[in-house]
Amino acid sequence: MSVFDFDVASNTLAQCIDFCNSRTRRGENTRFFLHHRQDLARERQEAQQALQQAKQKDAQDALQDARVKLDHVQQERRQQEQEELQLSTRHQVLQGQTQQQATDRQALEEEKAVLATDRQALEEEKAAVARERQIVEEEKAARTFEELENVSERVDTVQAFIEVAGQTNDRLAAAQTEAASTTSLIDQRLTHVVDQQLESIVSKLGDVQGVAEGTNNRLALIEDVAEGTGLHDRLTSIKNEIDNGRRALDDIRIVVTTENELLKTRVDALRQRNLELTLQLESYCGIGATESGSFNHEWLALVNEVRRNLLSINVSKPQGCDLRTILYHIAKAVQNRTLHHRLAVFRVASQWNDWYCWEDVMNRGQDAVVVEGPYRLHQNGACFQVKRVEEGFSDLLVFRGPNLGL
């Protein structure tokens, strides 16, 4: 029962009481009034009890609602406190991240400054290495020309020695011929003397005087024979010594001839290389001198780059490639920026004493594959190959492969 229903009942009860009072005032039956009044009092008491119970129930419901609302408010407050705590924690984390970022930024700035210093030092070291390399190349070129002059002088000395050896050989041959003729004469003389001795002994056995004279003649002949025999032994010994000396000179002549041929080959190669480089550079410089402006500057830089690359070239002769073929490939690579960069990287990153395909180097640079043999074929012919070898403070490029017929 709601509060509204209790209010209606209270109003009805009040109306009944008023009706009874009016009946009493009108002089109606007192018993009926009392009985009815008791009923009304009982009903009023019940209504009050019901009203009290309803109020208590409403109060309990209100209290329950208030408790529910209070629990809801407390739950919302706890959620709000948790959110505030999360926001505070997040704010602290953000502050820590901000401080860490500031620290990292400062560390990066310091590292950047250190890297800038290292880069400057590296540039200075690179410039020093370039200067040292240029000095080494100039010294190498000077040593090459000096070696060429020394080789020329050595060749002249060897040629003079060969001429002297030839004259000595001629004299030894003449002495050998003379010794042979002398030996033949001695043999003939010994044979003739023995024949004469036998004839003397047979013809003069009966005559003492003849025997004495024959004996004297025999003694004289024996002395002559003895003298001739010693001369023969001496000439034989001299002949043996001459033969031994001749064989030694023949060995020396073979060694000297071989060394002379090698020196001549090297001298010819150096002269040819020097002449071709000189002609090529003079031709390039002559062409460059006719130009002007930035193109001339770029062209002269290209010529210097070609010259720098040519100073570090060594030709592997057994494979047959000539200097013109190598010059063609080098000049073609230097004229293209990409190919020039790949060649420069190859000269730094490739393995020592391993052959590489030149076409593969031009296409892939440091990623080129080592060639197992010299007979690799391409669609356009045999393989032109290159390898890097170390000599002193610089490296040399060694080439092998077919000529281009330039």
Domain ranges across the chain = 292-406
Is pLDDT of 72 > 70?
Answer: yes
pLDDT for 227:
53
Span 81-103, average pLDDT: 88
Share of the chain above pLDDT 90, in %: 0
For residue 312, give the 3-state DSSP assignment.
coil
pLDDT, tens digit, for every residue of 149-158?
655 565 555 4
Q: How confident is the model at residue 384 (pLDDT cuts 50, 70, 90)?
A: confident
CA trace torsion 77, 81, 84, 88 (10° rounding): 170
Is pLDDT of 176 > 50?
Answer: no
pLDDT for 157:
52
For residue 89, give the 3-state DSSP assignment.
helix
Is pLDDT of 82 > 80?
Answer: yes
Q: 0.85 cut: is pTM over it?
A: no
Span 174-182, average pLDDT: 49
Question: CA-CA distance, 279 to 327, in Å (whole number)?
Answer: 12
pLDDT for 303:
64
Question: CA-CA distance, 269 to 264, in Å (whole number)?
Answer: 8
Is pLDDT of 324 > 60?
Answer: yes
Judge contact between 242 and 179, C-beta under 8 A: yes
Question: CA-CA distance, 335 to 306, in Å (whole number)?
Answer: 9
More confident residue, 174 or 364: 364
Span 270-277, average pLDDT: 68
More confident residue, 326 or 27: 326
Determine which of 45-49, 218-222, 322-326, 350-354 has the lowest per-residue pLDDT on average: 218-222
Phi/psi for 403 (5° steps) reads -80, 155
pLDDT for 314:
54
Span 94-106, average pLDDT: 87
Span 32-38, average pLDDT: 67
pLDDT for 31:
60
CA trace torsion 318, 324, 329, 335 (10° rounding): 160
Nearby residues of 152 by Cβ (< 8 Å), 6 or more positions away? 267
Question: CA-CA distance, 338 to 345, in Å (whole number)?
Answer: 11
Span 72-81, average pLDDT: 87
Residue 306's Cβ-count burial label (10 Å; 0-12, 13-18, 19+) is buried
Question: CA-CA distance, 247 to 181, in Å (whole number)?
Answer: 21
- Average pLDDT over the chain reads 68
pLDDT for 252:
73
Nearby residues of 302 by Cβ (< 8 Å), 6 or more positions away? 334, 335
Q: How confident is the model at residue 143 (pLDDT cuts 50, 70, 90)?
A: low
Determine which of 218-227, 234-243, 261-270 has the lowest per-residue pLDDT on average: 218-227
Span 391-397, average pLDDT: 61
pLDDT, tens digit, for every residue of 297-316?
565 666 666 666 665 555 44
Nearby residues of 303 by Cβ (< 8 Å), 6 or more positions away? 281, 284, 285, 288
Is pLDDT of 355 > 60?
Answer: yes
Q: How confident is the model at residue 211 (pLDDT cuts 50, 70, 90)?
A: very low
